[in-house]
Amino acid sequence: AQTVTQSQPEMSVQEAETVTLSCTYDTSESNYYLFWYKQPPSRQMILVIRQEAYKQQNATENRFSVNFQKAAKSFSLKISDSQLGDTAMYFCASRNSNSGYALNFGKGTSLLVTP
Amino acid sequence: DGGITQSPKYLFRKEGQNVTLSCEQNLNHDAMYWYRQDPGQGLRLIYYSQIVNDFQKGDIAEGYSVSREKKESFPLTVTSAQKNPTAFYLCASSIDPGQETQYFGPGTRLLVL
């Protein structure tokens, strides 16, 4: 079974600072994708960033970047220059080819950005 | 505008009643998914469909049913057999799930009276 573990239920960061959210995963697939989704108070799930496992280079999207350590099965999200609008639940997810490529989610990290 | 719509935003169910949650997409996506979200937990897969007239059970399908008669529509019925239906339900779709990202609708909050 594929599992995704987020070990930080809650985190807090001050505006303009940098924060890193942790995620570890377990998969038996050789080629896989990993994702970070953001869920603000509106509860709309928004894709933040995705990483293809066969790519060596870590994905980046503006202030968001990942540290993908394939051997360690680690996939952390770094948010630079944190903004108040980054306050949200953040979910790490892997894709399961055995379930029509449905997503396996971690339990989430609640991030609070303070002024 | 292209996107995924879910209705209603809030839904109340009485004991023993079946209710249906709507999910529609105009993105021409082949694959569609239903997830359930409970407090303190991530999303869990209820059902998925990769093509019209075909669907498969996910991890927590008991007490739920779906249909996929049209490409753009994937309604979820919460039956009376689902004893703890209070949750937030999210629908998602993807044009090519093996390569592309899933996109989510705004969700439906189901509450039991």
Candidate from A46, A47, A101 with C-beta closest to B31: A101
Record: contact B88-A42, CB cut-off 8 A: no
Give me the pLDDT at residue B47, please.
97
Which pair of tokens denotes residue B104? Answer: 């989510």
Sheet strands (E) in A1-115: 3-5, 10-14, 19-21, 24-26, 33-39, 46-52, 60-61, 64-69, 74-79, 88-96, 102-105, 109-114
pLDDT in the model for residue B2: 67
A108/B contact by beta carbon, under 8 A = yes
Contact B101 A105 (CB under 8 A): no
How far is residue B113's CA from residue B107's CA, in Å, rounded to a whole number? 19
- Cβ–Cβ contact A44 with B under 8 A: yes
A40 and A46 Cβ atoms separated by less than 8 Å: yes
Instruction: Pick A105's closest partner by Cβ from B43, B56, B98.
Output: B43
A75-107 pLDDT, tens per residue? Answer: 999 999 999 999 999 999 998 888 888 999 999
Nearest to A54 by CA among A70, A65, A74: A70
Stretches in chain B below the pLDDT threshold 70: 1-2
- As beta bridge partners, residue A14 has A114
Block residue for tokens 């968001």: A64
Residue B102, φ and ψ in degrees, nearest 5: -85, 140
Q: Using alpha carbons, list the distances in angstroms from residue B95 to A48, A52, B13, B26.
A: 18, 17, 32, 11
**Inter-chain residue contact A100 with B33, CB threshold 8 Å:** yes
Distance from C-alpha of B63 to C-alpha of B55, rounded to nearest angstrom? 15
Which of B41, B45, B107 comes nearest A99 by C-beta?
A: B45
B26: Cβ–Cβ under 8 A, 6 or more apart, which residues? Answer: B2, B3, B72
Work out whether the CA dihedral A105, A40, B26, B65 comes out positive or negative.
positive
Q: What is the pLDDT of residue B60?
A: 96
Q: Answer yes or no: are the C-beta atoms of A61 and A78 closer than 8 Å.
A: no
Kindly determine whether residue A50 and residue B101, on different chains, have CB atoms separated by under 8 Å.
yes
pLDDT for res B1: 59
Which chain A residues are closer than 8 Å to B35 by Cβ?
A: 103
Tell me which of B10, B41, B43, B48 to substitute to probe the interface with A (most A C-beta atoms closer than 10 Å): B43
Residue B85 pLDDT: 93
CA distances from A28 to A18, A32, A115 (A): 32, 9, 42
Tell me: pLDDT of A1 over 70. no
Taking only the tens place, the pLDDT of each residue in A17-73 is 999 999 999 988 888 899 999 999 999 999 999 999 888 889 999 999 999 999 999
Q: Largest alpha-carbon pair distance within chain A?
A: 44
Residues of A in contact with B34 (CB under 8 A): none
Task: Label residues A64-79 b or e (16+ Cβ within 10 Å = b).
Answer: bbbebeeeebebbbbb
DSSP label of B80: T
